[in-house]
Amino acid sequence: MIKVLIVDDSIVSRQLLKYIFYLSGDIDVVAEAKDGAEAIRIIDDRKAPRPDIITMDIEMPGIDGYETTKHILERHPVPIVIISNAMQYYSAEKAFRAMQAGAIAAVGKPPGLGSPDFYQKARELIDLIKRISGIKVRPRLSTAELEGHQKDSVHKSQVVEQKPLSRDQLQTWAQQNSPGIVAIGASTGGPPAIQAILARLPADFPLPIVIVQHIASGLAKNFAEWLDKTCPLHCKLSEESERMRPNTVYIAPNDIHLKVAYPDTLQFQMPDANELIVPAAEVLFHSVAEVYGSRAIGILLTGMGRDGSRGLLELKKAGALTIAQDRESSVVYGMPGEAEKLGAACCYLPPESIAKILLEIYNAARKEKEQTR
């Protein structure tokens, strides 16, 4: 049985979650808390049952969900899922900050029993809880610690034999290929990893950046708004047939695939009825390989499953610069791990080091521009 602690100030929401978990047959609610302070007391009590996972509301009286998540994860390595009606930006921002603090994922609250979507949303929540309950939560590393792991991560892997690219190699590649786009795919643990990369790039970064992040339905727009507020670059939700611009980050919307087309245009693609992953990094990477080839930079970050791994290999075969997140900094080394098995990435690095590579590309482009004046 998966043991769950529910933290929510609404008794109605707690009862609904308890009923959903009861329906699963193998999720047991071992405790519930009406606010953050009570949740902290329960988790600090050595005599209380130890939960395998915590569901956390964001808006609560007293200590809110963000502060509670931060406090708990400083002391206890327990997977936390934010379950909140975080559709308004103020609440959504707290949810993404909670993920920065170590929460695994954020989803909206399921609808009530009278909703026609109740059982579908209940199944989705149960599936998420089951998948996340097995994640081993590690303390979040500082930037210096993450970069200190970079060298070790290369030598620990039995598959990766390549060393991180040098500055000269990056500048030579940039000069030879004139990169035109950065494509990023991510899933579980992706929002803080993406933010860590984008926050280190200048506002005049010369390439468009297109991102597929697996995220709960309805939260893609909030994610774009949070990135726009916390990063120098302009970040927005992608639009159909939109012409891409430099200095701009485009986030894939929920429930439809995003790809690129010539010339520098974004397109939506309707998924097949049996597709489980929508939007998919595979679709984005495949289109980028076709349109940009060696002029692309492909990045695959933390996440469950294998989405994006074959697309990253396709990009590499086309001559693109391909990067995957390393094991030590990944919340889940599923997608990058599949890329590693395929030999799809040129190097495997933490987000902060990935940002450094993009900055080298930026500097190379700026240097070339100055020389042509």
Give the pLDDT score at 117.
Answer: 93
Give the pLDDT score at 153.
Answer: 42
- Bridge partners of 296, per DSSP, are 181
Whether residues 218 and 316 share a domain: the answer is: yes
- Residue 81 sits in a domain whose CATH number is 3.40.50.2300
Residue 43 · residue 70 · CB < 8 Å:
no
Of all helices (H) and strands (E), which one includes residue 268?
strand 265-269
Residue 345 · residue 184 · CB < 8 Å:
no
Whether residues 42 and 186 share a domain: the answer is: no
In a domain, 194, yes or no: yes
Whether residues 167 and 218 share a domain: the answer is: yes
Whether residues 46 and 172 share a domain: the answer is: no
Q: Is the pLDDT of residue 60 over 70?
A: yes
Q: How many domains is the chain partitioned into structurally?
A: 2
Whether residues 238 and 341 share a domain: the answer is: yes
Determine the Cα–Cα distance for residues 97 and 191; give it in Å rounded to an integer.
Answer: 9
In a domain, 22, yes or no: yes
Q: Is the pLDDT of residue 140 over 70?
A: no
Instruction: Summarize pLDDT for 344-369 with one digit per residue, the tens.
Output: 999 999 999 999 999 998 888 777 76
Whether residues 290 and 148 share a domain: the answer is: yes
Average pLDDT over residues 107-120: 93
pLDDT band at 144 (very low <50, low <70, confident <90, very high): very low
Average pLDDT over residues 149-170: 55
Average pLDDT over residues 305-319: 97
In a domain, 335, yes or no: yes
Residue 192 · residue 143 · CB < 8 Å:
no
Q: At what angle do helices 190-198 and 89-100 cross, to 10 degrees?
A: 90
Whether residues 122 and 235 share a domain: the answer is: no
Average pLDDT over residues 51-56: 97
Residue 43 · residue 76 · CB < 8 Å:
yes
Average pLDDT over residues 230-254: 97
Burial bucket for residue 242 (CB in 10 Å: 0-12, 13-18, 19+): middle
Average pLDDT over residues 129-153: 62
Of all helices (H) and strands (E), which one includes residue 325?
strand 321-325
- Residue 279 sits in a domain whose CATH number is 3.40.50.180
The half-sphere exposure of 255 on its side-chain side, counting CA atoms within 13 A, is 5
What token pair was written down for 137? 């939560």
Average pLDDT over residues 37-58: 95
Annotated active-site positions, please? 187, 214, 307
Kindly write down the DSSP assignment for every residue of 135-183, as one continuous string: ----PPPPHHHHHHHHHHHHHH-SS--PPPPPHHHHHHHHHHH---EEE
Determine the Cα–Cα distance for residues 353 and 325; give it in Å rounded to an integer.
Answer: 9
Q: Is the pLDDT of residue 159 over 60?
A: no
Q: Is the pLDDT of residue 86 over 80?
A: no
What token pair was written down for 175? 């000069």
Identify the domain boundary among 88, 112, 133. Answer: 133
In a domain, 69, yes or no: yes
Q: Is the pLDDT of residue 156 over 50?
A: no
For CA atoms 131, 133, 79, 1, the dihedral sign is: positive
Give the pLDDT score at 217.
Answer: 86
- Structural domain range at position 282: 143-371
Give the pLDDT score at 218.
Answer: 84
In a domain, 31, yes or no: yes
pLDDT band at 87 (very low <50, low <70, confident <90, very high): low
Whether residues 119 and 147 share a domain: the answer is: no
In a domain, 265, yes or no: yes
pTM: 0.90
Q: Within the chain, how many helices (H) and strands (E) appear?
A: 13, 14
In a domain, 138, yes or no: no
Whether residues 227 and 294 share a domain: the answer is: yes
Whether residues 327 and 366 share a domain: the answer is: yes
**Between these two residues, 87 and 129, which has the higher pLDDT value?**
129
Give the pLDDT score at 323.
Answer: 97
DSSP 303: B
Of all helices (H) and strands (E), which one includes residue 250?
strand 248-251
Identify the domain boundary among 105, 133, 161. Answer: 133
Identify the domain boundary among 114, 133, 152. Answer: 133
Give the pLDDT score at 245.
Answer: 97
In a domain, 216, yes or no: yes
* Mean pLDDT value across the chain: 90
To which residue do tokens 């934010």 refer? Answer: 82
What token pair was written down for 237? 């939700």
The count of other CB atoms within 10 Å of the CB of residue 170 is 21
Whether residues 88 and 158 share a domain: the answer is: no
Whether residues 166 and 275 share a domain: the answer is: yes
Burial bucket for residue 158 (CB in 10 Å: 0-12, 13-18, 19+): exposed
Instruction: Summarize pLDDT for 314-337 with one digit per residue, the tens.
Output: 999 999 999 999 999 999 999 999
Average pLDDT over residues 294-323: 97
pLDDT band at 221 (very low <50, low <70, confident <90, very high): very high
Q: Is the pLDDT of residue 223 over 70?
A: yes
DSSP 244: P
